[in-house]
Structure 1
Amino acid sequence: MPKKILFLKARTGVDDPSPPMAFSLLGEIAKEEGFEVTIENLNAQYNNKKNEDIIELIKRENPEIVGVHVFTNAARYSYELIKKIRPYAKLIIAGGPHPTVCPEEILERGADIAVIGEAEISFRRLLRALYAKKNLKKVKGIVFKEKGKITRTEPEEVIFDLDKIPMPDKSFNRKTDYIKVKKEVNNFGQILSTRGCPGRCTYCFSLFSKCYRCVSAKRVFEEMIYLKKTYEIDFINFIDDAFTINKKRLFELCELLVKNNTHIRWSCGTRIDFLDREMISKMKEAGCELIILGVESCLPKTLLGMNKIIKVNGITNQQEYIKRVDEILKWCREFKIRVGVNILCGFPWEIPQDMKKMQRYIQRIKRNVTQGFYGGILQPQPGTDMYEKYAKEYGFEKWWIDKKPLFKDNYRPFFTIYYHQYWEHLHNNFFKFSKEYFKEIDKLYKIMGRWNLYIFTKRRFKNFLSISFIYSAFYLTSLFSMYLYKISPSLERKLMEKIKKFSYTFKFKKS
């Protein structure tokens, strides 16, 4: 009888359109070690299973190991899942960002073992040690409880040659969990081609340490071709923190894509200090259609507090940062590459006047932001400078447990999907901001939301009258949804549920 392993991710209310990369990677490793792999991502956009269904699955399949992937923002939901399956699971291994920084907490909540950081080497060695019944103290990069005592082994070595890591096997994931229409096959087109980041942003936590490494251009090209042939994908999304850091590798990849006439469209995210006109030109020629820029702010004091800096002649210059953003937006417009912009607010030194400046900045650049804005209010992640500096002072040491979910049963109101996507973030008042501050930040995110809604409709309809009609319909329906929700969340859900489902028909109208 084959050994069995079940990978789980809890439902959080913010659906995953794509399979978790960790499951595809670790699933391949488990398969190589002789395990029969099953994946249940309860957070997949079309997975309707509940925790109770997982209990029945464990009873029926009786896996030797259950692996749970845990993000800090979803820790509460993951703990609920672990609590429910604990009486039926033989062994629970937790991995991901949250177990990396809070392993003892994970064990207290019911897991048997926590895997720290990059898991490819330590997870393989852990599987072998468990199967051979060897001493777990010799397995690097794990934390476990033995006879009531918590043991932390020495850290696992950083993986420098990423080409040696097995190619992720996405076949473990059920297509029906992520795909309803043909266009959604591209949800399987995610590639992680780098690890780490040379940046030292004070709000950012990286599972992969600060040591920057990258997969070779040849290996990235091979994975793109594999995904295209296997899943008939024609669009690849690179999920790296900063895809363009290694300029030489970028040009090598672009050359391979152009030379082999692959016709694969792709997107990536990056920092503004690792992008120039020549790179954008090469990327466009090689099929790049979208770049997500980590702009975050236009405020000099916030950029400095984030450690988002550009040096001119060795001197830190925040104004040069804003100038650089304008140049990149202009170049992307020149080469007809869509641009999305990340915006992050909610730092303890910000005041209402700062949000007014941000509003003016968004109004100024939005015409060149052709994909839309992404943003939110800072959630200080454990393990970051912002968390270490302010958590005790402001009393949010365990916010991922203490803060109750805003939406019941993970339901998201209509207006948070198409208009005020970051409305939920307004309730995360970590730094005890004034009402005036939240009033201005609410205006900021409404400006961003209206522009995003306009982009959403413009990309799906060519006719001006159609764009105007659909935009107005979605906007007014969102305002009505917001009004209903303030009166009665249950009433909003009852009246808007069918409208929300109908609205999804526009999602694939045009891209």
Structure 2
Amino acid sequence: MKVLLVNPPSLESSLLADVSVPRLPWSLAYLAGVLEQGGHDVQILDLYPIHDPQEVKQRILGCKSSLVGITATTPYIHSAYHLARMFKTSHPETIIVLGGWHPSALPERTLEECPSIDIIVRGEGEMTLLELCNSIDSHGMDTSTLSRILGLTFKSKEGGIESTPARPLIQDLDTLPFPAVHLLPMDEYPEDMSNLGAVFSKDDKFSLLITSRGCPFNCLFCADGLMYRQTTRYRSIENVIEEIKFMKKHYGINFFGIIDPDFLQKPERVYLFCRTLIKEHIKIKWGCQARVDTIPPGLLRLMKATGCYRIYYGVESGSPRILKKINKRIKLSQAHKVIQMTKEAGILVIINMMLGLPGEREEDIVASWKLIKDLSPDNVYLNLTKPLPGSELFDRYFQALPESEKKRITWSDFYFTVEYVESRDFSFRNLPLEKIRHFQRLIMIDYYFSISFLKKVLLDLKSFRHFKFYVRAFLAMLYAILTRG
């Protein structure tokens, strides 16, 4: 069966895209690997690097497949709808399938909002999509056959919507083939994309790496539990190392961004990972995400010795009251200790902070501002809280809405791009939106235009192309600050 997997276009301008890590469609690469292994003819159409709407249209018109699978998170759902309509208009016989976080959280509503979509694949998609393609290959769009495939939501013959039971999670991740990187348009990604981790070398080639799926925690704002059900499954370190060696040998990749929600959740596993890299003389650069409460002393220096260049910590708030309210289950003392340890190990620190959290008052935002100054990270992401479908926060927010408003939700209000200036005042926020945006602007100015940050940038300059990157980043950040009023 001929299958086309599609990643929607970027919502960012070319200016911001130049200084942002591309959303490499790793979920599609995993799906493609499984489908290829199952004997299907697969292509990936990654529209993320394409900023010209006419070029997007031309690429769609040039693609003809039996089935088109589109991935979508909530910020990209309108873009996915647009693509589905374009494919259906140009190729009416094509079966349109949508997967990802948003349609998994709201499958019935998704089908209602976009009639061009035929089927929703809910949750972890590899085995569901493979069974779906096999079934359509043999029986076409026979709904009685579709109803036996776990993890689907589709339109029934009677005109209603039918959902099959949820599919169990894949327990042995080592059974999955490596992502089908050969199907990605690696030559279309920005030349400097590997530089965005503050390692500015012309010869670096970047790739993502997933060593586990899921997280046992249940933060109020996070939708990961929808897909992974508060459990974590791990690939064996042997399997992970084999993928690294494969990527190095076949694609020259030496720079890996590990995107597990918490790579350091099992420290003994990270020790094994690092010792295996040393034992097998594998030289790479890598970064990861982690919580501040799962790192033992001594591990960070070993990580640095094996090429770890940065760690992204989700701190979220400088207010203990708010941390408790969002079920973060960390202490600020842990953040101070671990971030100091990370700096002493020579690893760059990036932290995520959120404004507009439920119940947040001015003094809580001031506490977050102070924490940023005290921690002095190498970079900080300062996001406005959005109630993403699949999270507990969305469930609370949605249930509290009057029935008349539930159907009028505009998903564009859930964008996360720096350039998007939010206009929706979500009801769970304690402070008015203008006040929150004002604080966001002040904190961004205080951080990015501080003497300490500018000095850090100047000392870090390694080349002219490095300098050009920072100029573009400065212009993008200046635009973001000015648009917040």
TM bracket (short chain): 0.7 to 0.9
Query: Scaled by the length of structure 1, what TM-score is found?
Result: 0.80
Tell me how far apart the structure 2 counterparts of residues 103 and 350 of structure 1 sit (CA, whole Å): 32
* Aligned counterpart, 1:245: 265
Structure 2 CA distance for partners of 1:157 and 1:352, relative to 1, 3 Å: same
**Greater shift after overlay, 433-442 or 155-164?**
433-442
**Match status 1:401 vs 2:410:** yes
* Aligned counterpart, 1:189: 207
* Aligned counterpart, 1:66: 68
Q: Secondary structure at the match of 2:256?
A: strand
Alignment of 1:108-507 (within 5 A): 108=112, 109=114, 110-133=116-139, 135-147=145-157, 148-180=159-191, 188-206=206-224, 207-310=227-330, 321-366=331-376, 369-370=377-378, 372-393=379-400, 397=406, 401=410, 403=412, 422=418, 424=420, 426-431=422-427, 433-434=431-432, 435-450=434-449, 454=454, 457-458=457-458, 460-461=460-461
Tell me how far apart the structure 2 counterparts of residues 481 and 73 of structure 1 sit (CA, whole Å): 18
How big is the shift at 1:387? Answer: 1.0
* Aligned counterpart, 1:27: 32
Structure 2 CA distance for partners of 1:164 and 1:400, relative to 1, 3 Å: farther
Q: Secondary structure at the match of 2:161?
A: strand
How big is the shift at 1:263? Answer: 1.1
How big is the shift at 1:289? Answer: 1.4
**Greater shift after overlay, 395-404 or 68-77?**
395-404
How big is the shift at 1:114? Answer: 0.5
**Match status 1:4 vs 2:8:** no
Tell me how far apart the structure 2 counterparts of residues 73 and 276 of structure 1 sit (CA, whole Å): 36
Query: Scaled by the length of structure 2, what TM-score is found?
Result: 0.84
Q: Secondary structure at the match of 2:44?
A: strand
RMSD: 3.2
Q: Secondary structure at the match of 2:439?
A: helix
Question: Identity, % of aligned pairs?
Answer: 24
Tell me how far apart the structure 2 counterparts of residues 263 and 392 of structure 1 sit (CA, whole Å): 51
Tell me how far apart the structure 1 counterparts of residues 329 and 147 of structure 2 sit (CA, whole Å): 42
Structure 2 CA distance for partners of 1:377 and 1:398, relative to 1, 3 Å: farther
How big is the shift at 1:140? Answer: 0.7
Structure 2 CA distance for partners of 1:477 and 1:301, relative to 1, 3 Å: closer
Which amino acid is the alignment partner of residue 241 of structure 2?
A: F
Which amino acid is the alignment partner of residue 383 of structure 1?
A: G
Tell me how far apart the structure 1 counterparts of residues 119 and 176 of structure 2 sit (CA, whole Å): 23
Unaligned runs of 5+ in 2: 196-202
How big is the shift at 1:455? Answer: 7.8
Assess if the C-alpha contact under 8 Å between 2:77 and 2:411 holds in 1. no
**Match status 1:42 vs 2:47:** yes
Tell me how far apart the structure 2 counterparts of residues 403 and 301 of structure 1 sit (CA, whole Å): 30
- How many equivalent residue pairs? 452
Tell me how far apart the structure 2 counterparts of residues 476 and 167 of structure 1 sit (CA, whole Å): 38
Assess if the C-alpha contact under 8 Å between 2:300 and 2:341 holds in 1. yes
How big is the shift at 1:129? Answer: 1.0
Tell me how far apart the structure 1 counterparts of residues 484 and 306 of structure 2 sit (CA, whole Å): 48
Tell me how far apart the structure 1 counterparts of residues 471 and 204 of structure 2 sit (CA, whole Å): 29
Which amino acid is the alignment partner of residue 216 of structure 2?
A: P
Which amino acid is the alignment partner of residue 185 of structure 2?
A: R
Structure 2 CA distance for partners of 1:186 and 1:474, relative to 1, 3 Å: closer
Which amino acid is the alignment partner of residue 309 of structure 1?
A: R
Structure 2 CA distance for partners of 1:239 and 1:459, relative to 1, 3 Å: farther
Unaligned runs of 5+ in 1: 311-320, 407-415, 488-511
Query: 1:438-491 CA deviation, whole Å, 9 max, x = no partner?
Result: 32233123334436973883365269xx98x998997689658966x699xxxx
How big is the shift at 1:282? Answer: 2.3
Say which structure, 1 or 2, has more relative contact order (CA 8 Å, 6+ apart).
2
Structure 2 CA distance for partners of 1:172 and 1:455, relative to 1, 3 Å: farther
* Aligned counterpart, 1:80: 82
Assess if the C-alpha contact under 8 Å between 2:318 and 2:365 holds in 1. no
Q: Secondary structure at the match of 2:449?
A: helix
Structure 2 CA distance for partners of 1:246 and 1:48, relative to 1, 3 Å: farther
Tell me how far apart the structure 1 counterparts of residues 311 and 109 of structure 2 sit (CA, whole Å): 37
